[in-house]
Amino acid sequence: MSGFRERYGRWAVIAGASEGIGARYARAMAERGLDLVLLARRRAALDELAAELRADTGVEVRVLAVDLAEPDAVASVIAATDGLAVGMLLYCAGADPAYTPLLSGPVEPALALLRRNCATPLQLCHHFAGPMMERGRGGIVVLTSVAGLYGAPNMAAYAATKAFDLVLTEALWAELRPHGVDVLALVLGTTDTPALRRALVRRGALDPADTAPLPGAATAAEVVAEAIANLPNGPTWFVGDQLREFARRLGLRTRSEAVATLARHSDGVVAGNS
């Protein structure tokens, strides 16, 4: 575990840390000796997680309650991490709970997704990657989605932002790999997280009292384990055998055929990532 901190550095910044994959990744980093800066909107959830991690692992934990879709979000994160040698960045904010056609409501939620999933991770990667490159070590993991591979109904803005994340992260891998920085685009399919469960309850697809594992869904623990195991294996990693096979099969089709297939089966397509 001590070798992990030597490889990546002292501090990890985790965006979307209040629950699900972000919280699980925070614990994994703390268990490996990294001090943490936890970012999310809900201060109470961050404080609770921070207290647990301090007690369980003894690492230093700072929290910042911030809406990553707000124009001043990046400035707040930069101020909160000033002077810290950040060697690990995980960006896993940005799930879309709506699952509705783009034209079914106002455009503002889509624009918020654009800021949270595109502008903010771009700026944070730019800010933290420079010092990593100078030190010759570090890691960046950006969670994206199988939804970003092709267009599909009810996820127009979300899928487009995840396509941006995928290509951005792959390009960063190519640019930073020669400088000793590991970069990984982590592609998720259906993942059993609190955010996904809330979305399914709103859609009437899940009973609120049902706590059984979601069929065919990866768990947050599985996602984090695959992320850590494949940090050096960028630029892209698909989580789970089922998703890897699904992506392989879609890749055998033309883009038009793949989009048509997803359109026919859109009621069964669910992608969540936080």
Catalytic residues: 158
Nearest alpha carbon to residue 132 among 187, 172, 166, 91: 172
Q: Are 36 and 12 in contact (CB under 8 A)?
A: yes
d(CA 81, CA 183): 20
> Using only C-alpha atoms, what is the Rg of the chain?
18
Distances (CA, A) of 178 to 132, 172, 182, 221: 12, 11, 10, 30
Structure tokens at 28: 């994994």
d(CA 120, CA 265): 32
Q: What are phi and psi of 235, to 5 degrees?
A: -85, -15
Beta bridge partners of 236: 185
| Cα distance between the two ends of the chain | 25
d(CA 158, CA 94): 8
